[in-house]
Amino acid sequence: MKNDSAASEVLTAGIESVPADVLTNTKKEFALPEGNSKWFFGTSGKTTFIGAAIFLLAICFLDSFTPVKVIPAYVKHILVSCLIYAILALGLNFVSGYIGQTSLGHAAFFGIGAYGTAVLMKYSGMNFWLTIPVAACIAALAALPLAASALRVKGSFLVVITYGFGEVLRYVAINTDSLGGSSGIPGIKVPTIFGIKMSKIGPTGKEGYLILCFLIVALLAFFMNRIEKSRTGYAFAAIREDEIAAVAMGIHTKYYKILAFVISAFICSIAGSIQVAYSSFVSPELLTSTQSILILTMVIVGGRRSIKGAILGAGLMTILPEILHSLKDAIGLSFDPWYILYGLILVIVMRVRPQGFWGNSSDA
Amino acid sequence: MDFVQQVINGLAQGGIYSLIAIGWTTVFGIVGVMNWTHGEVYMLGAFAGYFLCIMGMPFVPALLLSMLIGSGIAMAIDEFGYKPLRKKGKMAVAGFITALGLSTFLRYGANAVFTPNPRAYPDVIDYQLIPILTVGGKTLTISSIHLTILAGTMLIMVLLELFIRRTITGKAMLAASQDMQTLGLMGANSEVLIKVTFAISGALGAAAGVFVGTIYAINPMMGALAGLKGWAVAILGGIGSITGSLIGGLILGVAENLTAGFISTGYKDAIGFIIMIAVLLIKPTGLLGFKFDEKV
For A149, which residue in chain B has the nearest alpha carbon?
B281
Whether residue A13 is predicted with pLDDT greater than 70 in this model: the reply is no
Q: Are A306 and A356 in contact (CB under 8 A)?
A: yes
The four Cα atoms B149, B51, B205, B37 give a dihedral, to 10 degrees, of: -150
When pLDDT is averaged across residues B252-275 and rounded to a whole number, the result is: 85
Higher pLDDT, A353 or A6: A353
Instruction: Give me the residues paired with residue A196 across strands.
Output: A193
Whether residue B198 is predicted with pLDDT greater than 90 in this model: the reply is yes
Whether residue A35 is predicted with pLDDT greater than 80 in this model: the reply is no
For A201, the domain range is 4-16+41-287
Q: Tell me, which fold does domain B2-282 have in CATH?
A: ABC transporter involved in vitamin B12 uptake, BtuC (1.10.3470)
CB-based contact B101 A344, cutoff 8 Å: yes
CA atoms within 13 A on the CB side of A1: 7
**Contact partners, residue B280, CB within 8 Å, separation at least 6:** A149, A152, A153, A157, A160, A161, B235
When pLDDT is averaged across residues A90-119 and rounded to a whole number, the result is: 91
The four Cα atoms B52, B53, B56, B57 give a dihedral, to 10 degrees, of: 70
Domain boundaries, given as residue ranges, for chain B: 2-282
List Cα–Cα distances, A28 to A12, A31, A229, A333, in angstroms.
17, 9, 12, 60
In chain A, the number of structural domains is 1
Contacting B with CB below 8 Å, chain A residues are 102, 148-149, 152-153, 156-157, 159-161, 163-165, 167-168, 171-172, 174-175, 244, 289, 293, 296-297, 300, 334-337, 339-340, 342-347, 349-351, 354, 364
- Tell me which residue of A156, A155, A351, A349 sits closest to B83, measured CA to CA: A351
For residue A138, the domain's CATH number is 1.10.3470
Whether residue A30 is predicted with pLDDT greater than 50 in this model: the reply is no
The four Cα atoms B51, B55, B59, B64 give a dihedral, to 10 degrees, of: -60
Number of H helices, E strands in chain A: 14, 2
A150 is a domain residue: yes
Whether residue A11 is predicted with pLDDT greater than 70 in this model: the reply is no
- B109: which chain A residues are within 8 Å (Cβ-Cβ)? 340, 343
For A340, which residue in chain B has the nearest alpha carbon?
B105
Q: Provide the pLDDT for residue A42.
A: 62
Q: Provide the pLDDT for residue B285.
A: 78
For B272, which residue in chain A has the nearest alpha carbon?
A164
A232 is a domain residue: yes
3-state DSSP helix/strand/coil percent for chain A, to nearest 5?
Answer: 70, 0, 25
A120 is a domain residue: yes
